[in-house]
Amino acid sequence: MPVHESLHVRPAVAEDSMAVAQAHVRSWQVGYRGLLPIGYLDTLRPEDRASRYGFDKMNPNGPFTQVAIDRGTVCGHVTTGRCRDSDLQGGGEIWALYVDPERWGFGIGRCLITAGCAQLTSQGYDTASLWVLSGNDRARRFYERAGWHCDGAERTDSIGDHAVHEVRYQRVLQTSPSQIYLVPNHRWCPRDAL
């Protein structure tokens, strides 16, 4: 389905914290079902997650979060920053990308990943990486369609008290106008999403 014309992406502000947390939690509860215990997913609360965000603290060396707004509602977010992996120093990283599951399939994720890559490019990065749960086939297909490739790196991390297996994806960042561009009102979208 095409992106709705009212969709736009902008930097997150403190007032977005609860809406971002609600979309984030719903995304985990749907997208991670079968990958994490249902009992754990059912205990997630947006109120707990919202208190962790620091959207009002501008730190040029810290993470940068952008939100997707459609019809006045936050429906997803992307957080970017420097790569935290010691073997990829000097690159950027997509730290998080989540879309409310009720909005999956509308091109919002494509707009967010494009905005995240554009942010990293504007900070001088020419490569980017991200980590994804190895069993999250939907997310992996999404990243692969967006030009990312699994680079073979793997790790075991924890979510709550649960060990998870993750794989790393990378890509070269594009600056060509044919790949990404800014449309009026700060709407970052790939050409095929509009």
What DSSP string runs through 63-77?
-EEEEEEETTEEEEE
Q: What pLDDT is stored for residue 148 in this prediction?
A: 97
Please give the pLDDT value at position 4. Answer: 60
Domain boundaries, the chain: 8-193
pLDDT band at 48 (very low <50, low <70, confident <90, very high): very high
For residue 32, what are its two tokens? 């991670």
Where do runs of H (alpha helix) occur along 35-156? 38-43, 46-50, 108-122, 137-145
pLDDT score at 175: 66
Query: CA angle, 97 as apex, 95 and 102 as ends, to 5°?
Result: 160
**Among the four given CATH numbers 3.40.50.720, 3.20.19.10, 3.40.630.30, 2.60.120.10, the one describing domain 8-193:** 3.40.630.30
Average pLDDT, the chain: 88
- Pairing type for strands 162-172 and 127-133 reads antiparallel
What's the pTM value of the predicted model, to 2 decimals? 0.88
Q: How far apart are CA 96 and CA 102, in angstroms?
A: 18
> Between 24 and 56, where is the model more confident?
24
Does pLDDT of 95 surpass 80?
yes
Cβ(108)–Cβ(75) under 8 Å? yes
Judging by beta carbons within 10 Å of its beta carbon (0-12, 13-18, 19+), is residue 147 exposed, middle or buried? middle
pLDDT band, very low/low/confident/very high, at 59 (cuts 50, 70, 90): confident
**DSSP conformation class of 162:** E
pLDDT per position as a tens digit, 6-21: 799 999 999 999 999 9
Q: What is the mean pLDDT of residues 63-76?
A: 95
